Amino acid sequence: MILDAHTLDRNLFTRIFDVCVIGAGPAGISLARKLAARGHDVALMEGGGLDITHESQELYEGDIVGLDYYPIDTARLRFLGGSSNHWGGRCRSLDPYDFEGVDHHPMSEWPIRWSDLDQYAAEAEDILDLVPASVTPDKPVEGAERALFRPGFRFSSPTTRFNEKYRAELAASKRIHLILNANLVDIRVSDNGTAVTGTILKSYRAGDPGFPVRARAYCLCLGALENPRALLNANAQFPNGIGNDHDLVGRYFCEHPTYVVGEVLFEDDVPPKAGFAPTPECIRQEGCLNFNALMNTHALDFMTEAKRTVACSSDFMTQLAEKVLGRPFNCNVGGLSAYFDNLNKADFRIGEIGCIAEQALNPDSRVLLSNETDRFGLRVLALDWRHNEMDMRTYRACANVMGAYLAKRGIGRVKVADWLMDNDPVPPPMGTPGNQVGAYHHMCTTRMSQNPKEGVVDGDCKVHGLGNLFIGGSSVYATAGHTNPTLNIVELALRLGDHISGRLSGGELAAIPNDTSL
């Protein structure tokens, strides 16, 4: 069922739920559905409503105190379905070797393996409306098989917005109580500090005293910026926040930095745009991290633009193209007229190498709390995004490996970007042509680790030291890889659902004695 915190009969929360899930984006909804399917009662709390509003969205505002970055409130959406309401649908699993780590990147080994998530691939594909990975497999690169391959990406359907796709199911569910406009303001912990005893939530109604939600288990699914913010703000009992015994909550913030690392002068045959990724052997040899190199050309491909002209000739053809491709079709660029115009341009044989890179684990790259407070008295987040030498090494490797491949094959010559040649490189600022800076992918701020001194949650996404508090979403990534996170977010949520269900059924998660302070 779907209820609203503004008009809610709060006697509903005199009961104890099996699980309280905070946040109804891809992670929270996938987790709640999995738990409900296992027969558990779930309180699913969403801070926004059914549609975007100013009062909800402004709670995502924050300060930028590190590298130049997008305004925080533009990077995410705060209503039912979360940021799935504007995502592009591009999906790919992390690579198996992302989980294994490399010696030149300390702490990069995950406490789980790729197979632990891959067993949920089919279920996640159904949730995200994806074709199987076998339809778009990775492909070898002729002449560079030991260094590069062509990664296969898939695209969700244009209609895969969790708000639209799952709203009716959530409304009809007898197991899931979805409460809209319910904002988390506090997390209460037992006196011995080993378990969460309840959460406090408030609506936007002026003077709302708030209401408690009690459960046998709790899971934060607020995103990789808001998950650490919630833990840091829950400081009534622990001055440094919950789960922060080792000052790691909010640290290791990773994005997928996206910069132009070189210019290409192509030979006679200008190739189509293409993406490349390094092999494990290349990563070890270069001492770099994972990346996705995008070879962009100013030239247009005749067949592509001919197809675009046909597909964009009518609304029916556009819709048909979207159904066939499984993704939105861009009719705002290109076409045959653009193709022929492009042939007359002097620079059509010039292109560029863009790099979407895995970011290094850097404890100084982090989410902090500012001194400013929001309408609920919670401190607003401050993002201190930073790069280090390993990041620069990865950008250089991307340019050098691609340059070597293009030269060897006689495709073109690469001129490494001037900023990368400096002794102390500084990435281009926001607004520099061709440099997207980041991909709106936030990761690693409550990272997964076997050792509590290296992360916030364990391999089962449980907060170290707390028996019944879990975290969902990309904040638990141990490393970032280079691929879009949504597919793995859903797989992690499904795995977490099975884990929590098993512990509930096994009696390991019992109701905490009533907390009279709630």
- pLDDT tens track for 472-502: 999 999 999 999 999 999 999 999 999 999 9
- Average pLDDT estimate for 75-82: 96
What per-residue confidence (pLDDT) applies to 320?
59
What per-residue confidence (pLDDT) applies to 433?
77
Higher pLDDT, 297 or 390: 390
What per-residue confidence (pLDDT) applies to 311?
72
pLDDT digits (tens, 9 = 90+) for 428-460: 888 887 778 999 999 999 999 999 999 999 999
- Average pLDDT estimate for 151-175: 94
What per-residue confidence (pLDDT) applies to 306?
66
516 pLDDT exceeds 70?
no
285 pLDDT exceeds 70?
yes
Least confident of 71-75, 104-108, 250-254, 299-303: 299-303
Work out the pLDDT band at 299, boundaries 50, 70, 90: low
Work out the pLDDT band at 155, boundaries 50, 70, 90: very high
Which residues lie closer than 8 Å to 175 by C-beta, 6 or more apart? 35, 36, 39, 40, 41, 42
Task: Compute the distance between CA of residue 220 and CA of residue 201 in angstroms, rounded to an integer.
Answer: 13
Least confident of 36-45, 295-304, 386-395, 470-479: 295-304
Closest to 438 in 3D by CA, of 256, 261, 254, 275: 256
CA distances from 391 to 145, 254, 290, 427 (A): 24, 11, 10, 10
pLDDT digits (tens, 9 = 90+) for 311-350: 776 666 665 556 555 555 567 666 666 556 655 555 668 8
180 pLDDT exceeds 60?
yes
Which residues lie closer than 8 Å to 482 by C-beta, 6 or more apart? 256, 277, 290, 291, 292, 356, 357, 358
> What's the mean pLDDT when you consider all of the chain?
92
97 pLDDT exceeds 70?
yes
Task: Compute the distance between CA of residue 180 and CA of residue 409 in angstroms, rounded to an integer.
Answer: 57
Give ∠ CA 460-464-467 in degrees, rounded to 5: 75
What per-residue confidence (pLDDT) applies to 430?
84
Q: Are 296 and 354 within 8 A, CB to CB?
A: yes
The one-letter amino acid code at 229 reads R
What per-residue confidence (pLDDT) applies to 429?
87
Q: Which pair of structure tokens corresponds to residue 351? A: 């292109």
Task: Compute the distance between CA of residue 20 and CA of residue 339 in angstroms, rounded to an integer.
Answer: 54
Task: Compute the distance between CA of residue 440 and CA of residue 443 in angstroms, rounded to an integer.
Answer: 10
pLDDT digits (tens, 9 = 90+) for 254-281: 999 999 999 999 987 778 889 999 999 9
Answer left, alpha or beta for residue 17, where phi above 0 means left and psi between -120 and 50 means alpha. beta
Least confident of 66-70, 111-115, 478-482: 66-70
Least confident of 33-42, 150-159, 292-301, 484-493: 292-301
Work out the pLDDT band at 157, boundaries 50, 70, 90: confident
**pTM of the model as a whole:** 0.91
61 pLDDT exceeds 80?
yes
* pLDDT > 90 in the chain, percent: 81
Work out the pLDDT band at 358, boundaries 50, 70, 90: very high
The secondary structure element, H or E, covering residue 292 is: strand 291-297
pLDDT digits (tens, 9 = 90+) for 377-435: 999 999 999 999 999 999 999 999 999 999 999 999 999 999 999 999 998 888 887 77
| Pairing status of strand 211-220 against strand 469-471 | parallel
Strand partners, 21: 44, 219
